[in-house]
Amino acid sequence: MQAPWSATGRPRVVVLAAANRPRVLEKLDEIVTVLRHGAELIAVDCDQSYDFQSGDEIDLVVVLGGDGSILSAARRMGTRQVPVLGVNLGRLGFLADLGEEELQQYWPRICRGEFPIDPHIMLRCCWQPARPGNPRTQPGEPRKVAEQECREEVAQLALNEASVLGGPPFSMLQIDLYVDGELASTYSCDGLIISTPVGSTAHNLSAGGPILHRRLEAVVISPLSPHTLTMRPVVDHCDRIFEIYVRRGHDNVYAVCDGRLLNPLGPGDCLRITRAEVPFQMLRLPHKNEYKTLREKLGWGGSPRLEESD
């Protein structure tokens, strides 16, 4: 997708700065000075006070910080997603992988709209409370999809993943996963993750799940420490309805979206996960690609042996 400001060459920009990071505050004035050359700054937000639903015309959101700052930006934008450029002033930086020196180099070309914008799927995560008089379906029986509307006050967008996790006493959970109303499996495990391609290098990767190309329209279903070793991660299409119930658990089982608590999960409650109506949008720079990121961030360069000279 072409940058929407390419016709004017002067994007309207909101800057989101992670004020809890000393390096961000140290570099903020310098970076803002760079951004003012060629762009109209609508706001510089250091305290998460900017309202994306205010009606301001925005072309680009520049996020200063790390990947957590980008996850926060995606959540705050909600259904009004604006293209994002991440400037890495954090540590690892899978998403925010543009250095501050590179920003100065590429900013004039960014303002001219020379680089494309990639859409990435997000998840809509809803908590559905148990309904009185309607017990949970027995294992193996189909369910009616979307029997109940999700409660909007307990719904979130997730860019990385939605998961069911258990707290203390940290005993094993039994989790039912339904896909499009049909029972997929009952997992005996410590938790279950449904990850987007963007999130496949996050919690999913630590749990032994595969890495997906960011622009795939897919999700990964990854059980945490499954009791049955044949329970492996599964890649599925994102245009399906995933419903998670805790068949056997304890008082501290939670639905979590991008590391944030959505709601506790009690008997009969459901975590319902669907593809979000809007995609996350990110500016793609020509010198960045996923394999390069994996080599640099995860050390995929290896240690090739040099040929011995005769």
Active site residues: 67
35, burial (CB in 10 Å: exposed 0-12, middle 13-18, buried 19+): buried
135-144 as b/e: b if 16+ CB within 10 A: ebbeeeeebe
List the structure tokens of 287: 């010198």
Pairing status of strand 280-283 against strand 117-120: antiparallel
Candidates 31, 32, 80, 75; CA nearest to 59 is 80
Which DSSP string do the residues of 253-287 spell out, in sequence order?
EEEEETTEEEEE--TT-EEEEEE-SS-EEEE--TT
Residue 111: its H or E element: helix 100-111
List the structure tokens of 149: 């509307």
Pairing status of strand 40-45 against strand 84-88: unpaired
Residue 285: CB atoms within 10 Å: 18
